[in-house]
Amino acid sequence: MKLCTMKSLLIIAGILCVPTVAAKPISSKQLDKVAQRVLEEYRVPGAVVGIVQHGKVVQAKSYGVKNIQTGEKVDEFTLFKIASNSKAFTTAALAILVDEGKIRWDDKVVKYLPDFKLHDPWITAHFNIIDLLTHRSGLGLGAGDLMIWPKPSTFSRQEVIHNLRYLQPAGEFRANYAYDNLLYIVAGEIVPAVTGMQWEDFVEQRIMRPLGMQHCFAGKVAREQLADVAKPHGVIEGKLQVIDRPEREGPAVASAAGGIKCSLHDILLWLQMHLDEGQFGDNKQLISAQQHQMLWSPQTIMPLYDSDKRLNNSHFSSYALGWRLNDMNGYLRVHHTGSLAGMYSYVSFIPELDLGVVVLLNQQSSGARNALMYSVLKSYLPVEKHDWVKEFLPKSRTKTSDNKQPVQSTKTVYVLDKQTKLSQYAGRYQDNWLGEFSVVLENNALVMRSKRVPKFVGSMTPIAPNQFVVRWYDRSLEADAIATFFADEEGVFNSMKLLPESEDIDFSYDFQDLDFQRTE
């Protein structure tokens, strides 16, 4: 009987590892069958799946279309936004600078970015580069994401960094895990502070081009490749639609946290470099083996969810530098997901098997990316055969955009009393970090607008005394809010608070962190 890699340690505790079945890597035909089921069941327009092992591309498959309006087919050079899988490029860039002796991981952030400031002076002074990368700042989940999401936004990187000082802590510094995007923007700005090169230029010239990644972009996509970009899609109010997310002119504010666009062909080169511990080509070294080991070393303890225990028999979960780590059926797994409106990604490694897998989608379905990733990854592990496409479908319905139900308000309309005038709520309200929101009376109804985030404009319907549900006109946001107004001693409404209308709303819509004061 062969003992499992990690579980053998449990013999000391008197727990014996049971025999396992033989692994049977997924065949090309099997992958085609799984992918077609995923596209149909989860209403995904297009997807790519890639597998590398032992220095070779085992499979590189393309399915569906880039755009449901044109029907143009996806191929290995189609560009997908990889969202938060961009974070690993930022940590790799910093690892290169560590190799070159230009920075140290424990360098204080203020050494390079004097305007960096958090809520607490002591934390600001002691905050180092690793703290930027490991989601242990003490800030809340997705704190400040409304400055970068939904696109477009008028905030610059400098404004994002400046406004960090207004975000209040939700946990303890270096004690609590809470996923963060803004601090990766800060991390990206270490690069120009040290090298004089913009983050986008450094990543493209020092990482992508040496690896031969000609169909991957940290900044603007080359004009001749614009037609290769897949369109984002979502199931909006029951209908599969293209999601309109126009890009602003110039570099995207959040590129270092989630702005890279890449093709299947090119990202497989990226995966191979990691499996080779920073080496590529003819014994060339992009990142030293020592620093690559640092990228994959645990830094912050993460919660171990019941689903990880049930599906993977996991015993630990942690965050490294731009990567997550956990054990999957006795093997170490290094992985990360990426989520943007209409674009989802998933990268996983099993280093002991010299295996890397990538899934890219142009639809916002976590169920679909999980179904594809697990169908591939689990086939390489000694586990019983399982229907992973069915596993991640919602229990109550099929053919969905995601595992969650559509966000719809259950609030009933409240009839205002005769003494209440809508005009008394109208005015301009200012938040320290998100800026001005206006409430205006139009056609005997209230409308809310954001000055800095154009997508935030919507109708306001009363649901309780001094409380309104805000329904954004752009229904792809799936992020309606509850606005509550507060009056002073004289009965004048001088402040406003927002809350997410539903618990299912994405954490990046951190309305609860806003504190609006009336300015006029």
Name the region of 350 (left: φ>0; alpha: ψ -120 to 50; beta: rest).
beta
pLDDT at 424 > cutoff 90: yes
Q: Which amino acid is at 118?
A: L
Give how far Cα 50 sits from Cα of 79, 155, 269, 295, Å.
14, 36, 11, 22
* Other CB atoms within 10 Å distance of the CB of residue 393: 20
Amino acid at 424: Q
d(CA 484, CA 260): 38
Question: Is pLDDT at 91 greater than 80 in this prediction?
Answer: yes
Could you tell me the CA-to-CA distances from 470 to 331, 448, 483, 514 in Å, in that order? 47, 7, 7, 15
Beta strands in 196-276 (DSSP E): 216-217, 233-236, 239-242, 261-262
Residues 6 or more apart whose CB falls under 8 angstroms from that of 88 comprise: 295, 322, 323, 336, 347
* Chain mean pLDDT for the chain: 92
Task: Give the pLDDT of residue 420.
Answer: 76
pLDDT grade for 415, boundaries at 50, 70 and 90: confident
Burial zone of 29 (CB within 10 Å; 0-12 exposed, 13-18 middle, 19+ buried) = exposed
Residue range 181-197: mean pLDDT, rounded: 98
pLDDT at 19: 47
In Å, the largest CA–CA distance within the chain is 80
Q: Residue 1's pLDDT band (boundaries 50, 70, 90)?
A: very low
pLDDT at 247: 53
**Residue 151: band (very low, low, confident or very high) from pLDDT cuts 50, 70, 90:** confident
Band (pLDDT 50/70/90 cuts) for residue 6 is: very low
Average pLDDT, integer, range 406-410 = 45
pLDDT of residue 355 exceeding 60 = yes
- Neighbouring CB atoms inside 10 A of 290's CB total 12
With CA atoms as reference, report the closest residue to 84 among 185, 205, 181: 181
Residue 423 per-residue DSSP state: G
Q: What is the pLDDT of residue 417?
A: 73
Residue 15 has pLDDT above 50, yes or no: no
| 40: nearest Cα among 363, 405, 263 | 363
How much is the pLDDT for 414? 77
Other Cβ atoms less than 10 A from the Cβ of 324: the count is 17
Tell me what pLDDT residue 396 has. Answer: 52
pLDDT at 398: 42
Tens of pLDDT, residue by residue over 273-327, are 999 999 999 889 999 999 999 999 999 999 999 999 999 999 999 999 999 999 9
Confidence band, pLDDT 50/70/90 cuts, at residue 246: low
